[in-house]
């Protein structure tokens, strides 16, 4: 994501297509600019192939996007 202004926090949540939350992570103070994150340290077992929803929240905005995992 590309932020034009700094944010106090960024919250990332991943949901299945049945809207079951499977991942949640908060980042404190994110500066302006390009922000990247990865699921390298995903808790539990590996995520199955399929479609997921990713919700990214800041104090001023919220975005929801789709994530397709194919291995």
The structural domains of the chain, with segments of one domain joined by +, span 2-39+47-69
Q: How far apart are the first and last CA of the chain?
A: 23
Q: Convert the pLDDT of each residue in 3-29 to its tens digit.
A: 888 899 999 999 999 999 988 988 998
Q: Which CATH class is domain 2-39+47-69?
A: mainly beta
pLDDT at 47: 80
Closest to 48 in 3D by CA, of 14, 13, 1: 14
pLDDT at 3: 87
User: 61 near 48, Cβ under 8 Å?
Assistant: no
Q: Convert the pLDDT of each residue in 22-58 to its tens digit.
A: 889 889 988 998 988 777 666 656 788 899 999 999 9
Mean pLDDT of 56-71: 90
Structure tokens at 16: 């299945």
């Amino acid at each position: 994501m590309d932020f034009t202004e700094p944010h106090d926090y960024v919250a990332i949540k991943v949901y299945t297509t049945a809207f079951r939350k499977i991942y949640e992570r908060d980042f404190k103070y994110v500066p302006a600019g390009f922000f990247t994150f990865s699921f390298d340290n995903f808790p539990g077992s590996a995520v199955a192939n399929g479609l997921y929803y990713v919700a990214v929240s800041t104090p001023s905005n919220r975005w929801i996007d789709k994530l397709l995992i194919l291995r």
